[in-house]
Amino acid sequence: MADAEAGEFWALFGGFAPLPRKTASEETGEETEAAVKLLCFNQGQLEPIGFESLTHDLLETNKCYLLDCGAQMYVWMGRTTSLQQRKGASEAAEKLLTGDSRTKSHVMKMIEGYETVTFKSKFNEWPPTPDLKLSSEDGRGKVAALLKSQGLDVKGLMKSAPVTEEPESYIDCTGHLQVWRVNGNAKTLLASSEQSKFYTGDCYIFQYTYTGEDKEECLIGTWFGNKSVEEERVSAISLASKMVQAAKFQATMVVTH
């Protein structure tokens, strides 16, 4: 799968083809097909699941699963699973790799609805994903219009993001979250008990810090209530931008409504 620009790039090399599912053996140089295993994390234990055909229907939304593909191991977490279930499944996957001394294997985490193309390709059947391109462009247009009305630079904001095969890693809710309510040109830190109470007349800034693959990463964003005033929306974006600039590590900024 590739977008138009990627297609033009690979055309210079004679085109491109999908990667095969078989992997070359390092010892013999022969191609061997890795045996795919599906295990369910249930009450602290891993239970193998037998199947004739690996399909999406095997995954239940209230459970966590391990898809063992040899060089890669995926931890799939259903939307209705608890934080304890997700942590337990991740720890079980790491323990399994350590016990088998598979130093060249690594664990990738997937949450239901945010699976990567590579993960989906392991299944013989996967339901189509709704096309969200229109809604994404519409959201960028609203943000661009808001910033432009305040005389801010919106260059490049309306350009569609390049289509990539692998989306950004999802957030598994095990990091540290801070939320501020915007009051004019200032922000007020909310207590943990108030972080889930967002009002339509207010604007908020959130900062989520979590451990990435190689370093600590940070997501900084804003949330605008439907009845919030335009002045506070602009102030929220400005304050969040300053937080991104002040971060000692690479931070990503998002805007939500």
Q: Which residue do the tokens 């210079």 mark?
A: 12
Residues of the chain below pLDDT 50:
1-2, 20-32, 131-136, 160-161, 163-170
Quick one: the chain helix, strand, coil %, rounded to 5?
Answer: 25, 25, 45
In contact, 132 and 244? CB cutoff 8 Å: no
Distance CA 205, CA 180 (A): 5
Name the residue ranges covered by the structural domains of the chain: 37-121, 176-255
Asked whether the domain spanning 176-255 has the same topology as the one spanning 37-121, the reply is yes
Contacts of 115 (CB under 8 A, 6+ apart): 76
pLDDT at 125: 83
**Which one-letter DSSP state was computed for residue 194?**
G
pLDDT confidence of residue 138: 54
Superfamily of domain 176-255: Severin (3.40.20.10)
Q: Where are the alpha helices (DSSP H) in 68-132?
A: 83-99, 117-121
Q: Could you tell me the two tokens for 118?
A: 């590579």
For residue 136, the model assigns a pLDDT of 47
- Domain 37-121 top-level CATH class: alpha beta
CA distance 181 to 20: 50
pTM, to two decimals: 0.43
